[in-house]
Amino acid sequence: MPETPSFARPLPDLAELIASARVVTLPLATRFRGIDEREALLLEGENGWAEFSPFLEYDDAESATWLRAAVEFAWGEVPAVLRRSIPVNATVPAVHVDRVAGILKRFDGCRTAKIKVAERGQTLVEDISRVRRVRDLMGPEGRIRVDANGGWNVDEAEHAIHALAEFDLEYVEQPCETVPELVEIRRRTKYMGVPIAADESVRKEDDPIAVARSGAADILVLKAQPLGGIRRALDVIAEAGLPAVVSSALDTSVGLSMGAWLAAAVPELDYDCGLGTASLLSADVTDDPLHAVNGSIDVRRVIPSPRLLDGYAASAERRDWWLDRLKRCYALL
């Protein structure tokens, strides 16, 4: 990832970050991304609370970008917002078709659903059944998008998109892993009229603009933490010149508040955002979580509850692991 813009203010001291740090372990309502619990480190700065929660397998270089985003939101200067609520989509993990209805009920009023497909160990037949069930439940007016997380090769993606096109897809997110593969699958499927969206090819590439420059996608899916903060994400949107969908990385409501702030600062927001994922958690860090209400979430700072921070505090071993990670990533800033 290229170096992100420097802060208008100096970085806070590491001791200040450590003094406010709270590490939590939250149970998920359903297994997602191969995990049953979500760990996160929360920080309180001059502006309020922020979240540092790169996934456990990410190395320090990649994770430091997430820390930069948290420090910006808690201590730095953030842009003004253009809207006070953000329309969001429901998110359906790669569950058995019998569980789809119960998951959709957790997302109040959402008329867009993102469905996970290409899960390792599952088949396209299972994906088709899951997408068909969502379409049946949402009716013809509902919007459906699918996310493969780069799980198909080009031939598999072409076959899958052809099989799923009957469900009137809004777009297919990251059908293949690499930018050249996205270029090829977009070329092969253009006649179907199904747009291609890029997520990992934006946030995990050294050059997040390459996907737009090479014509690999019609839409960008952006997350504030992995891109290094709200301002950096807005720069990517402006330079890419493509429509953007702001999404989350299974954040707590504190992390979602950063994503909502980003979405509220985007000049044109044409798509429902993937910021309703607090509904995938069985517990959160606040008594007023950012759950979808009538299909939208508020744009606001989230204040954690001391009771919940204590109740879902990570073990001493996990807290030490996260604090060590924080120190190593801070050194890279």
> Kind and range of the H or E element at 72?
helix 60-75
Low-confidence ranges of the chain (pLDDT < 50): 1-6
- Check whether 98 is labelled as a binding-site residue: no
- DSSP category for residue 13: P
For residues 71-105, one letter each, b for 16 or more C-beta atoms within 10 angstroms of the residue's C-beta and e for the rest, the string is bbbbbbebeebeeebbbbbbbbbbbeeeebeebbe
Angle between helices 154-164 and 124-138 (to 10 degrees): 30
- Residues catalogued as catalytic: 116, 223
- pLDDT tens sequence across 209-224: 999 999 999 999 999 9
- Check whether 310 is labelled as a binding-site residue: no
Beta strand pairing call for 219-223 and 196-198:
parallel
> Whole-structure pTM over 0.85, yes or no?
yes
Q: Contact, 275 vs 83, CB < 8 A? A: no
Q: What is the CA radius of gyration of the chain?
A: 19
Question: For residue 8, what pLDDT is reported?
Answer: 54
Q: Contact, 200 vs 176, CB < 8 A? A: no
- pLDDT tens sequence across 251-284: 999 999 999 999 999 999 999 999 999 999 999 9
Question: Which tokens is 282 given?
Answer: 């069985």
DSSP for 185-251, please give it.
HHHHHGGGT--EEESHHHHSSS-TTHHHHTT--SEEEEEHHHHTSHHHHHHHHHHH-S-EEEE-SS-
Query: Residue 49, class by beta-carbon neighbours within 10 Å (0-12 exposed, 13-18 middle, 19+ buried)?
Result: buried
Q: Contact, 145 vs 195, CB < 8 A? A: no
- Check whether 199 is labelled as a binding-site residue: yes
Q: Contact, 159 vs 124, CB < 8 A? A: yes
3-state class (DSSP) for residue 197: strand
Choose among 294, 223, 312: nearest CA to 261.
223
Question: For residue 5, what pLDDT is reported?
Answer: 41
Q: Where are the alpha helices (DSSP H) in 124-229?
A: 124-138, 154-164, 179-189, 200-203, 210-213, 224-227
Question: For residue 134, what pLDDT is reported?
Answer: 98
Question: For residue 4, what pLDDT is reported?
Answer: 40
Question: For residue 10, what pLDDT is reported?
Answer: 85
All domains of the chain in start order, with CATH: 14-79+307-332 (3.30.390.10), 85-305 (3.20.20.120)
